[in-house]
Each structure stands twice: as C-alpha cells, then as structure tokens.
C-alpha cells in the first residue's frame, strides 16, 4: 500500500491509503474510536468502527497513549466538518512504537516546562506551524536574493575579532595559544566578497553573548546579510523594503494554513508594501518625547522606544541617521552632519521593533583607521579589512536581517524563543 502524507490526502478521496504518524488524541464511544493522527505534514481524524476492522484491530486502539507511533490504512472521505476537510475510515492499524505518559498534554504547561522539553514540544501543532513559517521565510529570502543577482558567499564562524562590539563576543580556545570568537556578523567578510563579486549575501548562524533577557534576544540566531558594492544608504533602504515585502507576501501566499493555526491577524500584514516610511533619528526622538518616553537625545533607542515608534505605523518604518557614537565602528558618517551615521534600522510594526540593521560603510582609509583605534579594536586583526580601502575603495553598504525576529513578527509571537527549533539564551542551553 503506497504511503500518503496527510497534506496530500485531498487528492486521494475515495481511495485506500496508508498514513504513518503519531497519535495526537483519542476518544472512543463503545464501538467507534476517533483517533486524531499527525504525521508532521498535517492532522487527520481516523474513524475506526469495530465492525469495519474486527475485534482484534479494534482492541489494539483501546489504550493507545498520546504520541504512540502508528501506521493506519483506510479510505479517504471528504467531510466539510472535519478539521482539515477529510477523514479516514480505518481498515487496519499497526502500532510502531508505544508511548505512555507523554509529558506534554493538551492542558496548559508553563513555558519553562515546555522549553525543557523543546525536543517534544516542537511536535505541537502551533510549534510545528511556526517552524514551517520559518522554513518559508528562509526560502523566500534565498529566492529573493538569488533572483536579484546576489551571489551567496559564506563567511566564517570562527573569527579573529569583533564586528559588533567587544562586549558580546563568545571566545573559543583555538589550538595552543589563540582565541577565536564566534562570529557576530558576516559583514566584514561580506564587504570583501562584494568587492570581488559585486552583490553578495551570507546566511548563517551568528552569536552574541548578550546578557539581555528580553523577548527579542537569542545568543545564537540566524542572520541574512546582503552587501552591495557601489551602493549608498538610499540603495540599502530600497533593498531592505523590497526584501521584507517579498518575504511577507510569500508567507501570506504559501502559509495561510499555518498563520491560521497561529491565529495571526493577517490583515495587519497586508499593508507591507514599499515604500516604507522613513524617519530621521531626530524625528524619532521628537515622537518619543511627545509620547512621554524618558528618552535622552543622542542615545540609542531601547526596546520600548522601538516598540512605541513602530506602533505609529501600519508597515515597517526605516529609522536613519542615528548618532555615530551609538553605532558600530564601520559606519560611514553623514558628510552633512558628521556626528550622524549613514545607517538604517528597520522596525517592524505592531511593536515588534528592529528586524534589520545596516547602512553605508566607511570607505575612507584614514577615518577607518581612526575608528578602529577609537573603538580599541586590535589593529592587526583588521589589516585585511583595511586592504579593501587601500585597493580600489568604493561606496558600499548592506544590512542584516535577523530571521527569528522576522518570524516572530510575521507569526505574531510574544517571544523569539519559539521561532527556532532549539533556542539558545542566557539561561537556556538544554536540550
Ligand atoms: O543590528 P545588527 O547588530 O547589525 C549587524 O550585525 C550588521 N553587521 C549587519 C549588516 O549590516 N550586515 O544585527 C542585525 C539584525 C538585527 O536587526 C536583528 O534582527 C538581529 O540581527 N539580531 C538579533 N536577533 C536575535 N537575537 C539577538 N541577540 C540579535 N541581535 C541582532
Ligand atoms: Mg542593530
């Protein structure tokens, strides 16, 4: 009997099929078992009548525990009242692996309890839906850049120095007497790659030893980072809004089922089209003060500031020209206002805050040397990076988009910890 995935069951109405999955739920009424079975692609109710399968098979299903793995054969019936629109009338059932006392039941569990059992929790309908959206987001990102002529060029994970500030580095012993650091961002290598290939992107895990326990921070997260030679801040913003719009449109188009499971109000995502509003840092500061935030002009935006700002708009907002002092060493200063950086943070609406950070890079050799010193970075580790300014420097720029933050926003989640199979956080390294 050919094996059918539940997501394809609709093309087998009236036929006999076999599904291989796990028992999600069971109720019985004397002569009929109702078994809700999941196989990773969907859920289906299996109706097993004693008269159809016989005494022996019927008894097999009498005491099955949640998450027992099983193989069921039966006829597919269309039923508008059934959750997925179909039911299976069983003719046989085989138990593959029994499960007793599955620790995650339909009752409410605390989040720490669930996080300790993350390897099982991902079987839950909501969690599986989020991971499918994540998959779609990642593929939408790849397809977007590939179709746009960007070359995927991988950047290293072991690196000799900081990219995003020395306070959030994870050191790793690297043979006898060297310390490597897990990458915070592929950007510096991306810049070199852009000089070689024009338009590039890297896409991989990045690491920040961030001691912040917020709903937006992981210590290991995935970031996609495009970089373009011969590009200015305006080009970077145009690319960012096109990318975000393309990703949202793709998820709306292909993951409607998952968004429904997540009870996402998708009307909030319908507005996500270019152009996104642009907000100069000074205007952002004005709004925050008007809203009564205790905001110090000249400082960075905190999480709550971002939330307040992003709530003002129905689509992502691009905040530009932050004070150079609060941004990374590699940012190009605005020639019109040299204490400002030619940078952009894209804040997602509904209070989600920053999902993208980027801008135009410092392309001037002398100034870059000065910045490396001002930031107390080890100059010898940046010799290769300075070469990019020694040999044919050009205006260039790019950005990084955090996948987990983007997924949390698109799914409408409280916390980024549910957007990655195994989140790594300040107090979470298990399982
Ligand atoms: O703003 P960030 O730090 O920018 C960079 O790393 C640049 N070098 C990127 C570039 O220009 N190529 O990080 C970029 C994005 C943030 O907007 C956020 O979405 C995500 O990465 N991010 C995090 N996501 C989860 N947990 C954390 N601790 C994150 N830190 C940054
Ligand atoms: Mg940032």
Q: Which ligand is nearest to the CA of 405?
A: 1
Cβ(189) to ligand 1 under 6 A? no
The protein residue whose alpha carbon is closest to atom 22 in ligand 1 is 402
Question: How close is the Cα of 381 to the center of ligand 2, in Å?
Answer: 23
Q: Dihedral of the CA atoms 260, 39, 132, 405 (nearest 10)? A: 90
Q: Taking residues 376-391, what's their average pLDDT?
A: 96
Q: Are 271 and 286 in contact (CB under 8 A)?
A: no
Q: Taking 90 as the threshold, does the pLDDT of residue 122 lie above it?
A: yes
Task: Domain count for the chain, please give it.
Answer: 2
SS3 letters across 99-121: CCCCCCCCCCCCHHHHHHCHHHH
Ligand 1 atom, smallest distance to 416 CA: 25
Instruction: Tell me if 326 is assigned to some domain.
Output: yes
Q: Is there a single domain that holds both residue 129 and residue 204?
A: yes
What is the pTM for the complete model shown?
0.97
Question: How close is the Cα of 3 to the center of ligand 1, in Å?
Answer: 43
Q: Is there a single domain that holds both residue 73 and residue 222?
A: no
Q: Is there a single domain that holds both residue 37 and residue 129?
A: no
The protein residue whose alpha carbon is closest to atom 28 in ligand 1 is 217
Question: How close is the Cα of 357 to the center of ligand 1, in Å?
Answer: 6
Q: Is there a single domain that holds both residue 264 and residue 174?
A: yes
For residue 24, how many C-alpha atoms fall within 13 Å in the half-sphere facing its CB?
Answer: 16
In which domain, by residue range, is 49 found? 6-97
Which DSSP letter does residue 234 get?
H
Task: Work out the pLDDT band at 30, boundaries 50, 70, 90.
Answer: confident
Q: Which residues contact 28 (CB under 8 A, 6 or more apart)?
A: 34, 61, 62
Write down which residue in 67, 97, 127 finishes a domain.
97
Q: Is there a single domain that holds both residue 163 and residue 29?
A: no
Instruction: Tell me if 262 is assigned to some domain.
Output: yes
Instruction: Tell me if 286 is assigned to some domain.
Output: yes
Instruction: Tell me if 425 is assigned to some domain.
Output: no
Please choose, from the candidates 189, 134, 135, the residue with its C-alpha nearest in 3D space to the C-alpha of residue 157: 189
Alpha-carbon torsion (199, 205, 210, 215), positive or negative: positive
Residue 184: give its domain's CATH number.
Answer: 3.30.930.10
**Ion ligand 2: protein residues whose beta carbon lies under 5 Å:** 357
Q: What is the DSSP string of 64-94?
A: PPTT-EEEEEEEEEE-TTSTTSEEEEEEEEE
What pLDDT is attached to residue 14? 97
Cβ(404) to ligand 1 under 6 A? yes
- Please provide the average confidence, as pLDDT, over all residues in the chain: 97
Instruction: Tell me if 112 is assigned to some domain.
Output: no
Instruction: Tell me if 14 is assigned to some domain.
Output: yes
Residue 47: give its domain's CATH number.
Answer: 2.40.50.140
Q: Taking 70 as the threshold, does the pLDDT of residue 1 lie above it?
A: no
**pLDDT tens digits for range 76-119:** 999 998 888 999 999 999 999 999 999 999 889 999 999 999 99
Rama region for 329: left / alpha / beta (φ>0; ψ in -120 to 50; rest):
alpha
Instruction: Tell me if 366 is assigned to some domain.
Output: yes
Q: How do 317-320 and 278-280 pair as beta strands?
A: parallel
Instruction: Tell me if 333 is assigned to some domain.
Output: yes
Cβ(223) to ligand 1 under 6 A? yes
Q: Are 79 and 103 in contact (CB under 8 A)?
A: no
Cβ(200) to ligand 1 under 6 A? no
Q: Is there a single domain that holds both residue 279 and residue 360?
A: yes
Cβ(306) to ligand 1 under 6 A? no
What pLDDT is attached to residue 195? 98
């Amino acid at each position: 009997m050919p094996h059918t995935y539940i997501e394809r069951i609709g093309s087998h109405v009236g036929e006999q099929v076999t599904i291989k999955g796990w028992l999600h739920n069971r109720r019985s009424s004397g002569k009929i078992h109702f078994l809700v079975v999941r196989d990773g692609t969907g859920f289906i109710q299996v109706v097993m009548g004693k008269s159809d399968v016989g005494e022996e098979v019927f008894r097999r299903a009498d005491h099955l525990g949640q998450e027992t793995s099983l193989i069921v054969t039966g006829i597919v019936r269309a039923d508008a009242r059934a959750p997925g629109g179909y039911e299976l009338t069983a003719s046989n059932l085989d138990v593959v692996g029994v499960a007793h006392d599955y620790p995650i039941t339909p009752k409410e569990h605390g989040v720490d309890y669930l996080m300790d059992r993350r390897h099982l929790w991902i079987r839950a309908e909501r969690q599986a839906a989020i991971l499918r959206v994540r998959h779609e987001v990642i593929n939408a990102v790849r397809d977007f850049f590939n179709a746009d002529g960007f070359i995927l060029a991988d950047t290293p994970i072991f690196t000799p120095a900081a990219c995003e500030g020395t306070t959030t580095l994870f050191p790793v012993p690297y043979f006898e007497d060297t310390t490597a650091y897990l990458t915070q961002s592929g950007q510096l290598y991306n810049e070199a790659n852009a000089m070689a290939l024009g338009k590039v992107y890297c896409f991989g895990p990045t690491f920040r030893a961030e001691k912040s326990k917020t709903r937006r921070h992981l210590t290991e997260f995935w970031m996609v980072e495009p970089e373009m030679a011969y590009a200015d801040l305006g080009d970077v913003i145009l690319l960012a809004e096109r990318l975000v719009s393309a990703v949202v449109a793709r998820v709306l188009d292909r993951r409607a089922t998952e968004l429904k499971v997540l009870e996402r109000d998708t009307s909030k995502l319908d507005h996500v089209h270019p152009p996104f509003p642009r907000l100069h840092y000074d205007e952002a500061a004005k709004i925050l003060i008007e809203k009564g935030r205790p905001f110090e002009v000249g400082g960075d935006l905190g999480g709550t500031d971002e939330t307040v700002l992003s709530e003002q708009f129905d689509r992502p907002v691009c905040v530009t020209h932050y004070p150079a002092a609060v941004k990374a060493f590699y940012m190009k200063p605005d020639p019109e206002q040299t204490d400002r950086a030619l940078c952009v943070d894209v804040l997602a609406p509904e209070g989600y805050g920053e999902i993208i950070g980027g801008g135009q890079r410092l392309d001037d050799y002398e100034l870059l040397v000065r910045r490396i010193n001002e930031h107390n970075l080890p100059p010898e580790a940046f010799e290769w990076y300075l070469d990019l300014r020694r040999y044919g420097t050009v205006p260039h720029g790019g950005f990084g988009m955090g996948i987990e933050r983007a997924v949390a926003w698109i799914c409408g989640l409280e916390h980024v910890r549910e957007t990655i199979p195994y989140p790594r956080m300040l107090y979470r390294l298990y399982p």
